[in-house]
Amino acid sequence: MSDHTVGPEIERLIQLLAKLPGLGPRSARRAALHLVKRKDQLLGPLAEAMAIARDNVMECERCGNIDTVSPCTVCTDPRREDSVLVVVEDVADLWALERAKASRGRYHVLGGVLSPLDGVGPDDLSIESLVERATAADVREVILAINATVEGQSTAYYLTDRLVNCGVSVTRLAHGVPVGGELDYLDEGTLAAAMKARTEV
Amino acid sequence: MSDHTVGPEIERLIQLLAKLPGLGPRSARRAALHLVKRKDQLLGPLAEAMAIARDNVMECERCGNIDTVSPCTVCTDPRREDSVLVVVEDVADLWALERAKASRGRYHVLGGVLSPLDGVGPDDLSIESLVERATAADVREVILAINATVEGQSTAYYLTDRLVNCGVSVTRLAHGVPVGGELDYLDEGTLAAAMKARTEV
């Protein structure tokens, strides 16, 4: 888009929208057009919502969650269990677990997984602060809710190793058949794991 | 997303992002997270670009293009031919033709196609203003660059009918094999049209 039909204002909007995950240059153009056609209903409100988020949203100094306060609402919620620490790769995983109401414990966002090929070592993740939090007297269990990818699993092994002297039990999420999932579409590793971990009905 | 993990600021951002074409609830969440993690590089600039677009972008009173001035840059460009009027359904089509440098004429944005099932009649499109512009002394050709859909084609027939007494020649885009396209993937209608309109090499 370097033609003179689209003014620099729209051009800039398109370029920035194209940086969003899930939007390429073409869909960014469509989105920009959609926005400028709906100035009052969408473009204006979105500009404001973004300005508000920019001015108010921050990372929780304790767990790495994203919120308007730090420590975040989850960290300060008195109804949550201090004894359980759920370790996730990313804030998106934290949100997913919260939507599923999967845990009433606290969280710890690693900020990624170990990946020697991409130059991500232990110092690039918030592992020291995790060990520190896990050492606290009231923490009894650390749940590694890390993605079941190769890198995620090797990160989980590394963390288990680091947490072995913290006086906590280290657990991980169960492998198995997704609820509502069809066996025919599942990979063999998942099926084998689900079979191995079968439970009595 | 009605949990208390995500504050109302982020919740609102997600809801608005989900209204963009190409983003669903899940990808809107991903986009929101992507944005709040990149406050200075992306969220801030995008908020500003949107505010600027909201305050400056308008619809061209003459052709329906979107620009920061009205009449728009294309309508006032002295290097363009006043004798040719390219009729498009939507601003996106205008942009596409401009990117392709397909025409040096002026444009006319219909704002949609006739669709009795959806309740879109001639009065809902800018057809009167098209007839008026086509009647002007200097316009010699009206190119119907309307999508080759069923509704687009019936709109084209309707327009041809309306323009018959305007003293202009009415043309439409050629059908044929897309440049770089493989015959094997093309539908039969396109192939038949391309064969019929074959040209000597």
Mean pLDDT of A95-124: 93
Write out the two tokens for A20.
Answer: 């969003």
Residues of B numbered 172-191 whose beta carbons fall under 8 angstroms of chain A's beta carbons: which are they? Answer: none
Q: Check residue B56 and give its pLDDT.
A: 93
Q: Distance (Å, rounded) from C-alpha B90 to C-alpha B152?
A: 11
Can you say whether the dihedral through the CA atoms of A104, A105, A111, A113 is positive or negative? negative
Chain B residues with CB-CB distance to A99 below 8 A: 1, 3
Residue-range domain boundaries for chain B: 8-56, 66-172
pLDDT tens, position by position, A161-189: 999 999 999 999 988 888 888 888 888 88
Q: Which of B3, B32, B73 faces A99 most closely, judged by CB atoms?
A: B3
Confidence check: pLDDT of A4 > 80? no
Position B158, amino acid: Y
CB-based contact B43:A54 (threshold 8 Å): yes
Mean pLDDT of A45-53: 96
Mean pLDDT of B164-171: 93
CA atoms within 13 A on the CB side of B166: 26
Q: Check residue A192 and give its pLDDT.
A: 87
Q: Which of A6, A26, A185, A173 is nearest to A87 (CA)?
A: A173
Topology, domain A8-56? Helicase, Ruva Protein; domain 3 (1.10.8)
d(CA A78, nearest CA chain B) in Å? 13
Distance set, CA A120 to CA A62, A151, A155 (Å): 21, 11, 11
- Asked if the bond preceding B21 is cis, omega within 30° of 0, the reply is no
Nearest CA in chain A to B29: A92
Q: Which of B3, B32, B66 faces A36 most closely, judged by CB atoms?
A: B66
Q: Check residue B28 and give its pLDDT.
A: 94
Instruction: Compute the C-alpha angle A154/A156/A162, nearest 5°.
Output: 110
pLDDT tens, position by position, B48-73: 999 999 999 999 999 999 999 999 99
Q: Distance (Å, rounded) from C-alpha B103 to C-alpha A198?
A: 67
Write out the two tokens for B81.
Answer: 């031919």
pLDDT tens, position by position, A62-77: 999 999 999 999 999 9
Q: Which of A133, A119, A125, A201 is nearest to A168 (CA)?
A: A133
Q: Check residue A1 and give its pLDDT.
A: 40
Do β-strands B58-59 and B66-67 pair in parallel, antiparallel, or remain unpaired? antiparallel
CB-based contact A73:B10 (threshold 8 Å): no
ipTM of the prediction: 0.80
pLDDT tens, position by position, B92-119: 999 989 888 889 999 999 999 999 999 9
Q: Does A18 touch chain B (CB under 8 A)?
A: no
d(CA B19, nearest CA chain A) in Å? 8
Position B179, amino acid: V
Q: Check residue B5 and give its pLDDT.
A: 63
Position B34, amino acid: H
pLDDT tens, position by position, B173-186: 988 888 888 888 88
Percent of chain A with pLDDT over 70: 98
Write out the two tokens for A114.
Answer: 């170990």
Confidence check: pLDDT of B2 > 80? no
Q: Check residue A2 and give its pLDDT.
A: 45
Q: Check residue A5 and give its pLDDT.
A: 63
Confidence check: pLDDT of A42 > 90? yes
B8-56 shares its CATH topology with B66-172: no
Q: Domain B66-172 belongs to what architecture?
A: 3-Layer(aba) Sandwich (3.40)
Q: Distance (Å, rounded) from C-alpha B55 to C-alpha A44?
A: 9
Mean pLDDT of B31-55: 95
